[in-house]
Structure formats: structure tokens, C-alpha cells
Structure 1
Amino acid sequence: MVQRHGDQPSLETEREPLLRDTAQPSSDYLYHAYRSISEEGIYNRFIKPVPEGDEEQSLGSDETESLKQSAHVNVIKIISVMLLGIFVAQTDTSILMATHAIIASEFKALKDSSWLIISFSLAGAATQTLYGKLSDIYGRKRMVIIAYTMFMVGCAIVGMGQTMSQVVLGRIVSGAGASGMSALVSVLITDLLPLREVAQWRAYVNLVATLGRSIGGSLGGCLADVVGWRWSFRVQVPLITLAIILCSAYLPSHTGTLDETDDTTQLKSKFSRIDFKGSFIFAALVLALLLPIELGGVKIPWSHPLIFVYLGASVILLVLFIAVERRQAEPILPLEIFHSKDAILSFLILGLQTAAQLGLMFTVPLYFQVTSTPRPSATVAGAHLVPAVMGNAIGGIISGSAIKRSGRYKSLVIWAVTCSSIGYLLLMLRWHGNTNSWFESLYIFPGGFGMGVTNSALFISLQVVIDPAHMAPAVSFMYLMQTVWMTIGLPAANTIMQTVLRRNLEIRLLKLGYDNVEVAKVCALTLCLSLCLSLCGMAQG
């Protein structure tokens, strides 16, 4: 599945990049690992190539081994301090899912509660790709701290908000920060670790993220009941402040070779490298594409002219963006990324898997609330998602270990997609309102497991086929694709469910003798209730 930079296909093209330098991490890895705690002398003594004839200046084997072990310890510290931010960001998402109706009700704006979710999602999508390129220009550490600070400020605004508009503003600021918190940790992992170890470390990050998503709904609901929903967000401020302090202390200050220019010249040079025109057009493109998906069927009908206006604008902006980026020396999203068929397939497969998994998470709680007797609460119905969540975490860990051991990932992707498909097929064939066996309730495990495996394997696939100089923008774009497909997956699942439910309900009500007006009222109420129950189940799950 993966040639690199024009290499001819061979049996070794998949494994060769991962098997390279397995005994010793890359030079960049050791440079990054030591830069935050050591003087540049370590770079000069250990990493900088030794001129021919000066071999006696190189380190002895014992000192070399000691430096390598210390580097590994430092890398563990660097990645570990970022896990706190990942945990809080993922917990925040689940908290909002559980409390958005409570928040909107306090401001007597229940009909606008979805904007608390939509604003966060759109802000994150619009800023996602910016972090990758800006981190190349200004350094990973600076952009990580900026992302954390924006997220913290957003939480503070939400916690202190006195109007619905202020709370939505806070969610916009938080969303713009959270997108960087998610993407930059993966970029840092690729900076600091040999390629073969990346998948395993990303699996640990995914495990922490899964834990945050799992407890966020219950935690948010509990805090809302005991001390009020505002504390669900206020309590995040000191946690993120601690994360900022830890990142300031442990993250490397530099991400490339040493720069000898003075600070003023360096700042002006970096500022001139920012692709403002491309950044603005791409953000507008993302918003024009996602707004109709977010609003369609919720705020306005799918047949509304505004839907087609937005979609048409997204096409025009896409053409304009490509034209502008082709002339940029340092584009915000290098178009060379899309010259690789394997990179495009990686984005597409991960996106489709994400959409399918979100559709599963949306419908399963509702299924159990409708079919179970006695009818379970939203918390109990949401608990049926636990097998999928556990499968995601287990799949990521297993695939990371397998890639590190064998250097192969293409077969993992094929196997994971097949596993997920079998799980979804079993749901369609076996779940018909009489799911009483605990064994049959585990059919959702393969979907989550396949998602975990695919996430890790496709991240490695992308790294193999993309030029390392474009890695940060490519990783950010991969996260953006997940956001886009999540946005597509939820309304798609909801539309299919509501269409089938409405058709079957109309047939049954008409047979019972109800007239068309009564049928329409019952259908509208039922569909609204089903959506609310499903969202509550997802949050509690």
C-alpha cells in the first residue's frame, strides 16, 4: 500500500521504511529529546556527523548507550505531559454532549442548544490545518501552548457566561484550541520517535482519549446535578493551566536545526512565511462545506436554498484555494500531499470508518431504549456502547505492538475494515428488537476494534508516503478529515433512521385509523424524541 517518493513497487516497500534505523533512533529524535534539557554541545558531540578522520572525537559505546537511554526517558516525559491536555479535551466533548440541553434551558434557548456543539465543531475544523504549518514555522512548543491557552480561555468564558451568545463564543474559542491539542501531540510523536514506534505511542494517546470520552458524560451530568453545569467547565481551567506549565517545562523549544539569526530578523522572516491568503480561503471552504451538513435537517430543511448556496460556495472556494496554493512558496496545505494515491486512500478509508463508527454510536443507545423492557435510562442505554469503546482502545494497542514488531500495516488495515464490516453486518442480520443475549450485545465490539486498528495503521501509512517536510500539515489534514466525516456520519445516520422510522410509523398509524394530520404530529414528536434520547445515550456512553 505504500510506495515512497517515486520508488518502484517491490515486496519490501511496505516494511523497509519502518525497519530502517531500528537499533538507533533518528538524529532528529535525539536532537529533539535533548534540546529541552541540554546544551547544544550534546548535538555537536553525539548527533552531528563526525568528519572523516575525526572518529576519535565520537562518544564511547557506554556513553552512547547512556545517552540513548536518557533520550528515551525524556521522550516519555515529553509525551506524558501532553496526555493531560488530551484527556481534558476529550472529556470536555463528552461533558458538553451531556449538558448542552441543561445549559440552553437556563438561558431559555433550548432550540439553540445544538449551536453549543456545532460552534465547537466548526471552529475546530476551520483552524485544524493551521496548526500543522504554523508549528513548522514557529515551533511545536509555542503552538501547543497557544492551543492550550485558547482552550483554557474558552472554558473560562463558558464557565462565566451570562448569556447564550457568550457561552457559544466560549465554545468557539475552545474548539479552535482543541483542534491544535489533538493534532500537535501526534505531530510531536512523529518528531520524537522512530517510525516503527509511532503507532504504539499513538495507541497510548488514543487510550487516554477514549478514557476521557468515556467518563466525560457521567462526570458532566453529575457536576450539573450537584454544583451546576458551570463547574464542569471551570474545573478544566486549573487542569489546563497545569498542562501549560508542564509543557513549558518539558517540551523541546526547537524543532529543527539551530538558527543563528537574531530574534527580530527571525520573527519577521517567520511572519512572512505564513500563508494568510490560503489560510483564510481554506477556513472559509471548510465552513461552507460543514455548515449545510450541520444545519440541514436540524435548523433548516435539506431542500432549503441556503443549503445549495453553501455547497456551491464550497466548490468555488476549493477551486480558488487550489489556484492560490499552487503559487505559494510555503502553502498552508501543500498540494503535493495529494499526489500520492496511498495518502488519498488513507484519508478516505479513515474518514469512512469514522463516519460508520459514529453512526453506530448514535443508533445503538436508541435501539436499546426502544426495544428493551422495562425501558432503560439514558445512562444504561449508553452503557451498551462500552464494548465499542473498549474495542477501540484494545485495537489501537494491539495494532501498535504488531506494527512495531513486524513493520507491516497494510494487512492490518484490510483486516480491520473487514472486521468492522462483519460487525455491522451482524447487527443488521441479528438485531431485530429481541436482543436479549449478552453475547449478541457484543456485536458492536468489532466496529470499535476495527476503528482502533485502522486509526493506528493508516497514520503509519501516511507517514511512509508523505515527504517528511509536509508531515505536520498532512497530520493536521488527517485530523480534519476525521472531523469532516464525523460531521457527515451523524446526520447521515439520523436521516436514514428518521426516514425508515417515519415510513414505518405512518403505515402503522394509518392502519389504526388516524388521519394524516394526526399522523404527521405523532411522527414529528416521535422523531424529535428519538434524536434527544440518542444524543443522551451517546453522552452517557
Structure 2
Amino acid sequence: MAPATAQSVDEETPLLRSDGGDEFPGYDIARVQSVISADGIEPTFQAVMTPEDDRSSCANHGAAADSQKKEAHPHFINVTQREFWAVFSGILFAWLIAMFDSTLMASIHPAITSHFNAANSAAWLSTVFLLTSTAFQPVFGRISDVFGRRPVYLFAVAVFFITTAWCATAQSITSFIAARAFCGLGAGGVVSAGMIISSDLIRIEYRGMYQSYINLCNGIGSSLGVACGGYIADTLGWRAAFGIQLPFIFVYLIISYFVVPTSLGPELARNEGWTLTQAAKTLDIKGSFLLVTGVTSLLLTLNLGGNVLPWSHPVIIVSLLVFCVCLIPFLKIEARAKRPVMPLPLLSTFPQANLILSNFFGTMVINTILFNMPLFFQAVKLESLTSSGLRILASSLAIMASSVFTGFFITWSGRLKPMLIIGFVFFIIGCAVTSSMNRDTPGWLAMLFLLPSGFGQGFAMPATLVSTLAVSPQAEQAVTTTTLSLFRNLGSVFGVSVSSWTLQNALIYYLTQSVTGNDRQDIIKRVRQSITEIHLLDPIHQGEAEKRDGDVPTWLSCR
């Protein structure tokens, strides 16, 4: 069968389905249509994977001979339905645990810092986890291409187990921070490798449906981490919040050893007969080092600058300089590398670059809103922490519901563009309505105003993931997945950092104008440092602070 050409593209032909009589619907056109023309990629874009390519890919996996013995299933690649669910159900479970652990710190960090008498180190508890879980994701992708998915995945699960136990038994704040750093490495590997394995096993036509299950576990795990973490810490102690995860992770590690297929991904080292030294030489070690160092420095700058440390602090200045120093050599190395850790065409070629950057800006928007709205409810509406959290839960439920719907819609209809458009329209509506809120906005209405941005994320983000995978070669699935995850995480950090910087500087300006009295500077300082101080002010100053806190976080942070 000849590769698809631009002339054969029908405007009404869906991206992921074929009307032909093939055994696997959409098998020959899964990655040929145009995302922009409502169905896949631009008409001039050549077919990324043909049936011959797919069969070749299976051969590279070392399983072509066995595939004839397996019961064919239209959803999966080279595995039976039973084998798939044995692997995928474990991936879902590991994803849920990883999300639970990643959001746990939001509710239990006060108990940990109080135990070690280290309140000034609170920011580092979440920061180091974020640094390692984000910076190393692209590295996991390339290593799994060389050595196979299974050893990388088992390594990540093992690191996750060991470091979670370390967190539960740490005897000092320094030890605990180090444990969280390595725990981020394990959790990031579990998440990224799980996504890569899913792409190896699921045909792109049906990827959206199974992504819905991942999105559901993502939402449940994140919600449980925030909601149950504090309860566990209050009733059983903060160490139990980590200890309770250990039996589940250990059992899953044992199960994974037996059920995760040995032949997944290119497995270049085995298929090419490379020794360990030869395989290591094929890795983009220089690029990986510069990427990890640069991303870590950038995240450190954005996460701490203007929030924990002033922008003029030596740590912030040095981190920013390190990022700048790493950037140019990294780009030069990636342009020449045979197997770059982050292929530059992903960031410069249509449509991959558009989709990856849309992920960046989408997560930037939703995290800007979710970070600032609790401040609005607590500082402006003077609601409790519990009440504020329940109102934010509406957005989380919207994200879960819409993301699950999106995955099944993509598989059912074979169309991606409708979800992309609807998602980003909801993002625009979400920014507009939240930026219109003030202290006179009823609490119930403010909660409803959070729904559009939640729907925006749920509709747009799964669609961009499937679109990016659909226009990427099979050999680049791993690095595409991890690059997409990296930019999503960077968008989250940018959203929080930029909006926090904007908010703090705007508060200084507006509070200076509105707060009166001889002790105005002290009041401004107290309000900027802690929103609970608003409750302690006299009625006149409280009204002044509420008004400015209501004007600033909603409008400026959503710009």
C-alpha cells in the first residue's frame, strides 16, 4: 500500500478512523490526516506510519514471530486483551499512587516542618520533588529507547518505593528533603514510563479512550492526596502518610516484574547487540546533563524567586545565570546529536511545536487560576481553609469529568479538532469570568466561575496529547511523550510563579494607595506575608485590604 498523499485527504475524513475494510479501523491513516483541517495534520504532511512501518516496529520489538500466536485485538499492539489489562491496570494503580504522593505535601507540610522545627524550610519540601520529577522525564524517555521500557519502569518503581520508605523514616529535615528529591525522581519515572508503555501497547485510534482512565486516576489520586493527607497526619502522624503507601508500591513492584512485557520499545542495545559501554555511548549524555541542569535551575528560579527568596538573592541570580549558560550549548548539542534527548524539531516543526506549546500555555492558565482562587476565597471572602478547598473541588471535578468524556469522544468520533477548539474557548471564558470577580461576587457564583477553566483543561489537554502522538513517528513516541510532560510541568510552574510575582507587586502598589494610618507600612507587610492577618485587622483597614485583595488576584493574575 502506498503512503497517503496530500491529494487523498478528505476534509470530512476523521483522524483516527477509516471507512475501509481493514481489520484494524484507521490502521493505514491513523497519523496522516490534518489537525488543522479538522482531522489530522496539514495536507502536505506525509504519512508518519504505514502498515509496513508498524510491522517493522513490531519486528524491532522482537515479537513478530509471537504475534501470530496471539489473539488479535483491534485496540492493542502485539498483546492480547488479557496481557494488556494485566499491564495497564498496574500502570493506572501506580499513576494513582504517584499522584497521591505528589499532592500529599500540600496538606501535611506544616506537620513535618513543625516536627523538625524547620518552618523556614517548608518551601523546599515541594520544590525538590518538583525539580527532580520534571527535569529527568526526558532522560527516562531516551534511556528506555536504548535499554527497553521494562528495566527503566522497574527501576523507577523501585526508587519510588525506597525513597517513600526513606521519607517515612527520615530523622532530620535535611534527610527528609533529600528523600523527597529522590522520591520525585522515582515518581516522575513511574508517570513518564507508564505513559510511554501505554503508547507502545495501544493503537493511536484508541489512545484517547485509555487516556481517559489515566486522567481519572490522575484526578482521584490528586484529590485523595489533598483531602486525605491532612486527615492521616492528624490521626496517625505524618510518617504514616508515607508508610501507608509502602505495601501497595511493594506489591505492585513484584507484580510488574512478572507482567510488564520484556519486548517493548526499540530496545536498541539488545537488537543491535551493543555492550553496556556501547549503549551508553549512544545516549545523549551531554545534552541530558545540560537539560537537567538548565531545567532544574529554571524551576528553582521560578519557584523561589519573589516568593520564598527576593529576586536579588544570590541563589536566584546564580540559578538564572546557570540556566542561561546551559541554554545555548544545549541547543547546539541537540542540533548535532544522533539521538537527542529532546529533538529540536519537536519545538520548531508544525504541528508538533504548536501542540506542545499549547500544552504549556494551557497548564499555565489553569494553574494561575487554581493557585490564586484560594487566595480570593480566603483573603477577600474571608472563608475558611476547608470552605475554600471545597469550592476549588468544583474545578477538579470539572477537569475529571471533561477529560474522561474527551478520551471516549476522540475514540468514538475519530476527531480531535473539536475538542481542541472547545477546550481553548473554555479557557478564554474561564479567564474572562474569573477576572471579573470582586468582593461583591457571591461565593456560589465564584465557584461556578471556576468550571469553565476546568472544562478547558479537560477538553484540550487530552486532545493535544493524542494529537502530538498521532503526528509523531513510532520511534519518537517516548521522547515525544516526555517532552510534552516537561512542558506541561513548566507551564504549571510558570503559571504559579508569574501570577505570584504579579500579585505581590500589584498588592504593594494598590495597598500603598488605599491603606491609611501611621502603621500603614506594617499593615501592608503583614497582609502580604499572610492572608490570615486580614482577619485580625480593625474593620476600616480590613475593608481596605479586602478591596485591594479582591481587585488584584482575579484580574491581574488571569491576564
TM category (shorter chain) comes to 0.7 to 0.9
- The aligned residue for residue 58 of structure 1 is none
- Taking the TM superposition and a 5 Å limit, the aligned residue runs for 1:105-504 are 105-256=114-265, 265-304=274-313, 306-372=315-381, 375-429=382-436, 431-436=437-442, 438-504=444-510
Q: How far apart, CA to CA, are the structure 1 residues paired with 2:488 and 2:467?
A: 16
CA drift at 1:14: 9.5
What amino acid is aligned across from residue 509 of structure 1 in structure 2? V
Task: Tell me, yes or no, if the aligned pair for 1:29 and 1:193 is still in contact at 8 Å.
Answer: no
Q: Could you list the per-position Cα deviations for residues 396-449 of structure 1 after superposition, in whole angstroms to 9, with x for gaps in the alignment?
A: 1221122112222123212211112112211222x2223336355212111111
Q: Which is worse superposed, 393-402 or 447-456?
A: 393-402
- The aligned residue for residue 524 of structure 1 is 525
Q: How far apart, CA to CA, are the structure 1 residues paired with 2:531 and 2:309?
A: 18
Q: How far apart, CA to CA, are the structure 2 residues paired with 1:376 and 1:422?
A: 25
Task: Tell me, yes or no, if the aligned pair for 2:150 and 2:260 is still in contact at 8 Å.
Answer: yes
CA drift at 1:261: 6.2
Q: How far apart, CA to CA, are the structure 1 residues paired with 2:365 and 2:297?
A: 23
Q: Identical aligned pairs, as a percentage?
A: 24
Note closer, same or farther for the CA distance 1:500–1:241 as it changes in structure 2 (3 Å cut). Answer: same
Task: Tell me, yes or no, if the aligned pair for 1:33 and 1:75 is still in contact at 8 Å.
Answer: no
Task: Tell me, yes or no, if the aligned pair for 2:399 and 2:454 is still in contact at 8 Å.
Answer: yes
> 3-state SS of the aligned residue for 2:80?
helix
Q: Could you list the per-position Cα deviations for residues 80-117 of structure 1 after superposition, in whole angstroms to 9, with x for gaps in the alignment?
A: 11111111111112211111122112111101110001
Q: How far apart, CA to CA, are the structure 2 residues paired with 1:80 and 1:336?
A: 33
Task: Tell me, yes or no, if the aligned pair for 1:33 and 1:74 is still in contact at 8 Å.
Answer: no
Higher relative contact order (CA 8 A, sep 6+): 1
Q: How far apart, CA to CA, are the structure 2 residues paired with 1:13 and 1:146?
A: 45
CA drift at 1:478: 0.7
Q: Which is worse superposed, 21-30 or 268-277?
A: 21-30
Q: How far apart, CA to CA, are the structure 2 residues paired with 1:498 and 1:262?
A: 55
CA drift at 1:486: 1.1
Q: How far apart, CA to CA, are the structure 2 residues paired with 1:262 and 1:8?
A: 35
Note closer, same or farther for the CA distance 1:256–1:121 as it changes in structure 2 (3 Å cut). Answer: closer
Once superposed, what is the RMSD of the aligned Cα atoms?
Answer: 3.4
Q: How far apart, CA to CA, are the structure 1 residues paired with 2:159 and 2:533?
A: 30
Q: How far apart, CA to CA, are the structure 2 residues paired with 1:93 and 1:162?
A: 21
- The aligned residue for residue 73 of structure 1 is 82
CA drift at 1:173: 0.5
- The aligned residue for residue 19 of structure 1 is 17
CA drift at 1:343: 1.2
- The aligned residue for residue 86 of structure 1 is 95
Q: How far apart, CA to CA, are the structure 1 residues paired with 2:137 and 2:455?
A: 26
Q: How far apart, CA to CA, are the structure 2 residues paired with 1:76 and 1:33?
A: 19
Note closer, same or farther for the CA distance 1:183–1:226 as it changes in structure 2 (3 Å cut). Answer: same
> 3-state SS of the aligned residue for 1:438?
helix
**TM-score in terms of structure 1 length:** 0.85
Task: Tell me, yes or no, if the aligned pair for 1:400 and 1:456 is still in contact at 8 Å.
Answer: yes
User: Number of paired residues?
Assistant: 505
Q: Which is worse superposed, 70-79 or 383-392?
A: 70-79
Bigger share in helix? 1
Q: How far apart, CA to CA, are the structure 1 residues paired with 2:177 and 2:462?
A: 33
Q: How far apart, CA to CA, are the structure 2 residues paired with 1:323 and 1:259?
A: 25
**TM-score in terms of structure 2 length:** 0.82
Q: How far apart, CA to CA, are the structure 2 residues paired with 1:226 and 1:275?
A: 48
Note closer, same or farther for the CA distance 1:281–1:13 as it changes in structure 2 (3 Å cut). Answer: farther
Task: Tell me, yes or no, if the aligned pair for 1:334 and 1:470 is still in contact at 8 Å.
Answer: no
CA drift at 1:328: 2.4
CA drift at 1:391: 1.2
Note closer, same or farther for the CA distance 1:244–1:347 as it changes in structure 2 (3 Å cut). Answer: same
- The aligned residue for residue 102 of structure 1 is 111
Task: Tell me, yes or no, if the aligned pair for 2:363 and 2:457 is still in contact at 8 Å.
Answer: yes
Q: Could you list the per-position Cα deviations for residues 472-522 of structure 1 after superposition, in whole angstroms to 9, with x for gaps in the alignment?
A: 011101111111111111122222332333333332322xxx23xx32222
Note closer, same or farther for the CA distance 1:39–1:12 as it changes in structure 2 (3 Å cut). Answer: closer
Q: Could you list the per-position Cα deviations for residues 211-249 of structure 1 after superposition, in whole angstroms to 9, with x for gaps in the alignment?
A: 111121221111111121011111111111122122222
Q: How far apart, CA to CA, are the structure 2 residues paired with 1:522 and 1:97?
A: 27
> 3-state SS of the aligned residue for 1:108?
coil
Note closer, same or farther for the CA distance 1:7–1:495 as it changes in structure 2 (3 Å cut). Answer: farther
What amino acid is aligned across from residue 17 of structure 2 in structure 1? L
Note closer, same or farther for the CA distance 1:216–1:493 as it changes in structure 2 (3 Å cut). Answer: same
Task: Tell me, yes or no, if the aligned pair for 1:275 and 1:331 is still in contact at 8 Å.
Answer: yes
